[in-house]
Structure 1
Amino acid sequence: MENSILTEVVQSVQNSEIAFSKFITANDTGATGGHQAGFHMHKKSWPLFFDSEGQKGENKDKFVTIKWQNSFETQSRFIYYGTGTRNEYRLTRFGKGFPFLQDENIGDLLVIAKQSEEFYEAFVLHSDDDIDGFLAALNISTTEINGIIPKQVEQTAENKLIECFNAFISTLTVSFPTTIELATNARNCYNNSYHITSQLIQTNPDKEILQWINAEFQLFKTLENNRYSERIKSPFTSVEELVEVANTILNRRKSRAGKSLEHHLAEVFNIFDLHYETQAVTEFNKKPDFLFPSVEAYRNPDYNENKLIVLAAKTTCKDRWRQVLNEADRIKTKHLFTLQQGISKNQLEEMYKYDVNLVVPKPYLDSFPREFRDKILTLDSFVKKVRNYQT
């Protein structure tokens, strides 16, 4: 955590009464064509500023001082619009020259932390590394972004799900299982607890993959708490020992998050009976995450290259999307599945210029500029595209 902004934002959240995070979207910057200025805030964000939820039929607001990046302050307004057809929260009034509502900020992570009744600190994280570092430091899943940041581990899942998690943990003979064991058991616990069938997954894979990712994250937090609760009660003998334990925890969190997405995507592809290979070797020892239908077909010069598909999986991709450009030279269009919510118009134009085609969970589509939504595939539409090529 060498980046000073990253350190500062983590400390700010930890010292706050309550904090909130969200990806900056096209709706915020005006890229969707709307004229409303300022950050659109999730309906569940009201406790950040108000004592009670906004009521339909009335507007209400609150003026606060916000210090940005530990640098400059704005006198801003949090407002609930409840009159007419409107039912939304906005954070507005930042003054001229405010730097974080530009098109290039789409996809950045906004974090707001309440330090007192009238004073808040806010930070905008730009890079994938900073965003991943923030999520790891505070143990937040990507599915928990766009809401109040949990202050502690909260078991909010159904009792049956928690019981399944604990039963799995009790059978372990190692401190931490492999990422695929973690993903598989979290998914099984979720599917069994909520009676999720293969037919249901085929009906709405976009919804279920997000539920799986969230369930795995809950399992991981439960396991982590189980493994470290006793250790952190004992004093550390040196700063070095403290740093070593902290780094082990952070690195494991990052590693699990990266692999989690691949494991759950593979399960979706299995349920749809798609032919694919993972980590197949292409040119220059490159190993794309998913190659459809097989590396054998890829290496066969007689196989129709228009029916070859490559897919990369990256939880965030603001910086990392270029890594997919040379993963399979024979395939012109590269598909990239991401949990990133919102990417700037300029960056999307560059992606499509280089034939990188985004795939995102359907609920995240609205966070992208309107003019790109028809080009972006959902998981459901991607699966159907692959299946059409394979029949």
Structure 2
Amino acid sequence: MKRGHLSEYFSGIAVKRLSAVETRPAASNQHEFNASAELKKLLGNDDQKDIPTKFLWIGHEQETVETEGFVTWYDARRRHPTRSEYRLYYPSNDVTAMMDEGDAFFLAKRKSDDCLVIITPSDSTMYNQLLWLFGIDVQSQFHFNYQKVGGNSDAELDFVSRFILEALEIDPEEPEGADLDRLIEPFGLSMPKARHLSELARNSLNLPNVPEEPDLALMAWMEREDQLFRRLERKIVAERLRAGFKTKNGEDVDGFISFSLSVQNRRKSRAGLALESHIEALLNAFEINYSRGAITENGNKPD
């Protein structure tokens, strides 16, 4: 399978833990960091005013708060002949209001030259996922650490990487778009049953050494099904949006909300169903007896 790379979306990232003074605007000059050499590697030497920036707070349960804003990068001593004093400034907003002492502050520069600020607790799953995604080896301290995206630090976008990017509300392009379209063409604009899509994912790869490499097979199947699902979902959703949400009395707000929730719920349930189906295929390959969806102790049924 062809995969994209993280460098298609980001050029670099810097991360630090927030101190108490940095979370309180009144004590931190409206959220202003004194820059370090690490931050200078990310943003360069030139002043940059009002860089368009998306602010995203992600909690322990991956609940999110987001807003659009800007950051400004400047040398406060630009006119001084020998000294420089770089600072990163950004105004308060709904996301910065969520910041607590010890939270991780990620500043990512995108290929489009705008920025993405991600704030998440430093003991959260998302924090560790971001360190892994960007190849950051050290735990963040109260100073910035910089990581370039590219070269040896350019992650290939596999199933796990795409899952993290989705949490950041980034929808990666599929490098095999034409091939995926050919595979899903028989479904038209209808989402097939989960089992049928799982079968298509496995058959489209035709892996020769499943018994020898079951872990790799499972990840490859999951990734291919995710590609197929998202490609078809995009077509279905686009067509529904083109049709619009209207009633004879005007805009159908309730209809739009209902449709949006159905899309989100389908995404959540499909991942679990896909994993169940592909594990079943592995059990069959090894001729292991099992019961699908069996009732266990106390009348419980596994998720």
TM-score, normalised by the number of residues in structure 2: 0.50
Which one has a bigger Cα radius of gyration?
2
Higher relative contact order (CA 8 A, sep 6+): 2
